[in-house]
Amino acid sequence: MGFHRIFLLFTLVGSLFFACHPERSFEEDPEASLSFNLDTLYFDTVFTTIGTATEAFRVFNPHKQFLKIDEISLAGGASSVFRINVDGSPGLHFTDVEIAPGDSMYVFVEATLDPNGSDEILRIQDSVVFQTNGNLQDIDLVAWGQDVHIIQDSVFDEHTTWIADKPYLILNYAFVDSMSSLTLDPGVKVHLHRDAVLYVDGSLHMNGTMEEPVWVGGDRLEKFYEDVPGQWRFIYLSGLSHDNRITYTEIRNGTMGLLISAPPESGKMPDLEISNSMINHMSSNGIYALNAKITGSNLVIGNCGGSCTALNFGGDYQFTHCTFANYWPSGYSNRQLPALLLTDYFANYDEEGNLEIFTGGEFERAEILNSIIYGSNRMELIIDSYEDLQLNYRFDHCLTKIDESEHDYTSDPLFTHIINNEDPLFVAVPDTFELDSLSPAIDAGLPAYAIDFPFDLNGNSRLDDEAPDLGAYEWIPSTSDESR
């Protein structure tokens, strides 16, 4: 068949198709209405000046004929804090939008809320209005907005105190100069935007209380992001920092909770006292310390993509009544590091991308007392010397998860009174890691260590029964437990 015949054939088929295609028939009954998959679109609480996540709802034509929506608009018009996108087209006002019989379309909505001049969370409302054949319908839009202190590319060169009037939002970085300090009062909430850093050359004091803890986390307030790691970078306590104190503070959902380090050649050792605090859901390490001094007590560090705590190139460390619990979800990444890591070396990349290994670090002290080191990996405690030297550590009255084929702790005099490979039976995974009534950690601690820390993270006494429990929490029997 020649080209002309093929062309003629397709021309005839095409003309027959279009000749048979019926004209669109529209439903014009004033009673004809649209259907929606919801009547109100809610947004989680967001900070003023910071845009919300994009939400959506669907618009259905339940009729057997085409339906023409004469008008779609925001009731608040150009002054509305909301923005809409109708089936892929942004705007404030749309006309003559057609929906085929039984078909649907999406309307996408987002908002940027103006400062409201209040420390309270305020409700903001608008609506998307649909007019079809003279029939008016609407979908309510509801968001809650909160004012926030914006800290962007900020340098603090004098002693500064943040009070708990409204949250603080760090964009890019906040830097505390070496001769200055930053104090966070009880109840302060600090949110960090993506990749933001709190960088401290001076002193950081997070002064939470049991009733009003300090909170540090990401700036996405939607429920979906409640436990999502990697939303911000880290709190960095540099080699120049000193007299850092953190108490009753929760740090969550960052890349690294606390990075505290000094270059080996500097001769400096930044120090931190951290107590009654929690670090959770970090995509890398909870605490990464290099040549630092840390005293930790009543501390919970859990669910990190790296180690809960990594102590590198030596330093001076003492952790008492702490819980290092790593049940990192495999859906995020395949965790390689243990819950607790001790090394006398560290690796870094130079400016040209070459890997450098720094060796020769020394531990002045590395004591882990009345604590729990556990998780989902086969080996949750690794002690590694680059040149196979004996490191200066001590583990006493601890519950651990150690593969004895890799470390024979039973022949190591620096391990005493160890409960190994017995599930601590946490009842509040993946956050608080409190103990079940059948936990082997109950009454397994040494009373002499508890004297300096007589109350647990919940304020319960450790000295009222036979012996203190291991970890940050003391198991307290309920009425039902006592009646068994």
Whether residue 154 is predicted with pLDDT greater than 50 in this model: the reply is: yes
pLDDT, one tens digit per residue, over 38-74 is 999 998 888 888 888 889 999 999 999 999 999 999 9
Mean pLDDT score, 126-130: 95
* Contact yes or no for 176/195 (Cβ under 8 A): no
Contact 232, 194 (CB under 8 A): yes
- The percentage of residues in the chain with a pLDDT greater than 90, rounded to a whole number, is 74
Query: What is the CA 260 to chain-centroid distance, rounded?
Result: 20
**322-347 average pLDDT score:** 92
pLDDT in tens, 85-117: 998 899 999 999 999 999 999 999 999 888 877
User: Which has more pLDDT, 313 or 429?
Assistant: 313
Using the predicted structure, report yes or no on whether residue 480 has a pLDDT greater than 50.
no
Residue 145 CB neighbour total at 10 angstroms: 25
Average pLDDT over residues 418-426: 97
Average pLDDT over residues 127-155: 92
DSSP 114: P
Q: Phi and psi dihedrals of 433, rounded to 5? A: 60, 45
Question: d(Cα 365, Cα 162) in Å, to the nearest integer?
Answer: 34
- State which H helix or E strand residue 277 sits in: strand 271-282
What average pLDDT does the segment 298-310 reach?
Answer: 97
Map tokens 């950081």 to a residue. Answer: 204
C-alpha separations of 149 from 47, 214, 347, 411 in Å: 10, 16, 38, 55
Give the list of residues 6+ apart from residue 162 with CB closer than 8 angstroms, or none: 149, 168, 182, 183, 184, 185, 188, 190
Buried/exposed 449-459: b ≥16 CB within 10 Å, e otherwise: bbeebebbbee
Q: What is the pLDDT of residue 2?
A: 45
Calculate mean pLDDT across residues 315-343: 94
Sequence length of the chain is 484
pLDDT tens-place string over residues 452-464: 999 999 999 999 9
pLDDT for 481 = 55
434-459 average pLDDT score: 97
Predicted pLDDT of residue 22: 52
pLDDT of residue 87: 85
The pLDDT of residue 173 is above 90: yes
Q: Which pLDDT score is estimated for 20? A: 46
On average, the pLDDT of the chain sits at 90
Closest Cα partner for 298 from 163, 460, 96? Answer: 460
Per the DSSP assignment, residues forming a β-bridge with 72 are 94, 130
Q: Which of 1-5, 120-124, 191-195, 258-262 has the lowest mean pLDDT?
A: 1-5
pLDDT of residue 296: 98
> How confident is the model over 358-407, as pLDDT tens digits?
898 999 999 999 999 999 999 999 999 999 999 999 999 999 999 999 99
Confidence of residue 7 (pLDDT cuts 50, 70, 90): very low
| Calpha distance 410→191 (Å, rounded) | 45
Q: Could you tell me which residue, 429 or 184, shows the higher pLDDT?
A: 184
- Average pLDDT of the segment spanning 168-190: 97
Mean pLDDT to the nearest integer, 105-132:
87
Give the C-alpha separation, 293 to 311, whole Å.
Answer: 10
474 secondary structure, DSSP code? -
> Is the confidence at residue 262, as pLDDT, over 80?
yes
pLDDT grade for 23, boundaries at 50, 70 and 90: low
DSSP string covering 117-171, please?
A: S-SS-EEEEEEEEEEETTEEEEEEEEEEEE--EEEEEEEE-S-EEE-SSS-EEEE
- What is the per-residue DSSP string for 247-267? ESEEEESSS-SEEEE--GGG-
Q: Tell me, what's the pLDDT at 3?
A: 36
Task: Kindly state the percentage of the chain with pLDDT values over 70.
Answer: 94
